[in-house]
Structure formats: C-alpha cells, structure tokens
C-alpha cells in the first residue's frame, strides 16, 4: 500500500444529498479522521484491504477475536516480516514471499503454515462468487493479485497502534452491526472491495482498469450511479470522472476509492443490506466485505 497510491473520496450528507469531493491522497489516516470526528456526526470509512484472518489460521489464535489479535501484534513485530523462503514461515511469521522464487506455489505456502490446501489461505469472503473472481489470500505478498502488503502497512503502521492506544475506532463486523456502531465521536471501519463494488453497482468496465480510455468510457455509467445514490459530485470530481481519473498509474486507485464510496452509500441508505453470514468464525475472525451477499 504505497503512499502515492493511497487515495480517499469523501462524502458529506447535507439536505438529504451526498456531496462528494474528488479523490485526494490520504496521508496519515488519523490526521484525516480526527477533524472529521470533531465535526460531530458519525464517521464511516471503507478500506480496500483485508480486515480479518482465514479461519484455518485463526483457529490457533489465543485472542478473543480479530480486533484483539491486532492489538496484540505490537508485542510480536516479527509477524509483519515477509519470508524470503518457505523454511522460515511459521504462524508467528506468515507473510510470503519477499521476492519471486522458482517453483513457489500457494499450496507450498499453505503447507508451511500447517494448512491442508491453498484454499485455507483465503477467508470465505475472498473466494470466487457468481459475480466476481476470487480475491487474493491475505498472507500472499507477490504480484498484482495480492493484498498482503496492504494488510502489513495498514495493520502495523496504523490499526494496531491506534487500537492499542484506545483510538475511537470500531471494526465492522467484528464489533456489531453497522447501524449500532455508527455513533458520534467514533469512526467505523469496514472492508470494501472495488471489484465487488463495481458489480454491486451494475457497472462493467470496457477494458483494463489501468487504461485511462477504459476508465473514461465508464464515465456515463458512473454519473448515473451518482444520480441513483442522490449524490452531488463536486466539479473537480465530475471532471475527474469524465477524464478517466487521469493518465498516471494512480488513476485506477482514484477510480477504486469512488467505487468503494458508492458501495458504502448504498448500504448506509438501505439500498443494499448490511449483510454478514450467521457464522461465528466470520463474525469474530474472518470478517466480511461490505455489501457482499
């Protein structure tokens, strides 16, 4: 999760309309959240990174749930060190690989962690659905289809220290249903997945997300999605959508943060359910993607 590619889109509700600003760089997350919390209304933040652990890993954890696990990681910093070889992998140090190695597989990674199959590396919400392909398993850190590096950066550098320090953060769904968690003075954090959000919104990208031309072709559908959400884009956001979010490599990240935000608005406004499966492992350890059915 490199800082130059870490963007956010901000929506405020005024007179029954969402007013959405153009994507901006996040910077230090608590520096973003503190002034928003000071405004008074509840704050809801979607994160495009894993929140939760696969149950085949969590079954060996001694903490009560995932938030407690995060707090405890400050005492085990080796947890975040990425392994270069299979020989150093353990439950205390599960992330792999630091670089490409001939013959490496996700199965061998899973077996080094004492798991039966590569599927055990994934949470239930990471697996393929009828609407989208599978997401990346948590502990994998190599290539384009990986989320391990984002998890390391967010958990180690922000979430674990903030939770341990008593920051006013609540993690959905581990600490309750969304509407119960939304209250003044606290920020609720939920996992969003742009690929899932795009399908929830009924959008189809005509090409690669990395291609500005394809992103530009999505503009009419994005403007329609904003209208359906009763959302008013600020002029800079309208211009960014029409332009395909710029020609640089961060264009896809600016699109992703808007997709995640639109997914959040659907749930907040009741147009999509705040659904979490009735499974204690999911509710306490694995977590869930916002809006996924």
Q: What was the pLDDT predicted at 161?
A: 96
Lookup: tokens for 14: 């005024």
Residues pairing with 47 in the sheet: 191
Are 239 and 254 spatial neighbours (Cβ–Cβ below 8 Å)? no
Cα separation, 191 vs 111, whole angstroms: 27
Cα separation, 177 vs 275, whole angstroms: 9
**Any idea which residue has 């309750």 for tokens?**
176
Q: What was the pLDDT predicted at 3?
A: 62
Phi, psi of 270 (to 5 degrees): 80, 10
Tens digit of each residue's pLDDT, the chain (293 residues): 446 679 999 999 999 999 999 999 999 999 999 999 999 999 999 999 999 999 999 999 999 999 999 999 999 999 999 999 999 999 999 999 998 877 789 999 999 999 999 999 999 999 988 888 888 899 999 987 789 999 999 999 999 999 999 999 999 999 999 999 999 999 999 999 999 999 999 999 999 999 999 999 999 999 999 999 999 999 999 999 999 999 999 999 999 999 999 999 999 999 999 999 999 999 999 999 999 98
Distances in whole angstroms, Cα of residue 285 to Cα of each of 58, 80, 123: 7, 18, 9
Pairing between β-strand 43-47 and β-strand 169-171 as defined by DSSP bridges:
unpaired
Q: What was the pLDDT predicted at 220?
A: 97
Q: What was the pLDDT predicted at 253?
A: 96
Cα separation, 137 vs 129, whole angstroms: 15
Q: What was the pLDDT predicted at 132?
A: 84
Cα separation, 62 vs 172, whole angstroms: 21
**β strands within the chain, DSSP E:** 7-8, 11-14, 17-20, 24-25, 43-47, 169-171, 187-191, 231-233
Q: What was the pLDDT predicted at 101?
A: 79
């Amino acid at each position: 999760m490199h800082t130059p590619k870490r963007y956010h889109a901000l929506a405020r509700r005024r007179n029954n309309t969402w007013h959405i600003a153009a994507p901006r760089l996040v910077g230090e997350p608590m520096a973003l959240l503190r002034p928003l919390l000071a405004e008074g209304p509840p704050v809801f933040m979607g994160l495009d990174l894993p929140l939760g652990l696969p149950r085949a890993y969590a079954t060996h954890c001694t903490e009560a749930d995932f938030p407690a696990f995060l707090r405890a990681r400050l005492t085990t910093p080796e947890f975040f060190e990425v392994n270069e070889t299979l020989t150093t992998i353990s439950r205390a140090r599960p992330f792999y690989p630091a670089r490409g190695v001939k013959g490496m597989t996700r199965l061998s990674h899973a077996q080094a962690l004492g798991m039966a199959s590569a599927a055990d590396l994934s949470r239930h919400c990471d697996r393929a659905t009828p609407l989208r392909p599978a997401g990346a398993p948590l502990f994998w850190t190599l290539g384009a289809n990986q989320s391990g590096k984002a998890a390391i950066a967010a958990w180690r550098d922000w979430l674990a220290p903030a939770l341990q320090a008593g920051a006013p953060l609540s993690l959905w769904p581990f600490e309750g249903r969304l509407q119960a968690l939304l209250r003044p003075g606290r920020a609720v954090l939920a996992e969003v997945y742009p690929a899932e959000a795009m399908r929830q919104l009924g959008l189809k990208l005509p090409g690669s997300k990395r291609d500005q031309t394809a992103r530009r072709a999505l503009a009419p559908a994005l403007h329609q999605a904003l209208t359906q959400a009763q959302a008013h884009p600020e002029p800079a956001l309208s211009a960014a959508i029409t332009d395909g979010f710029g020609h640089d490599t961060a264009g896809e990240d600016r699109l992703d943060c808007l997709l995640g935000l639109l997914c959040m608005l659907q749930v907040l406004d009741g147009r999509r359910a705040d659904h979490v499966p009735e499974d204690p492992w999911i509710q306490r350890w694995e977590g869930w993607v916002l809006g996924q059915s």
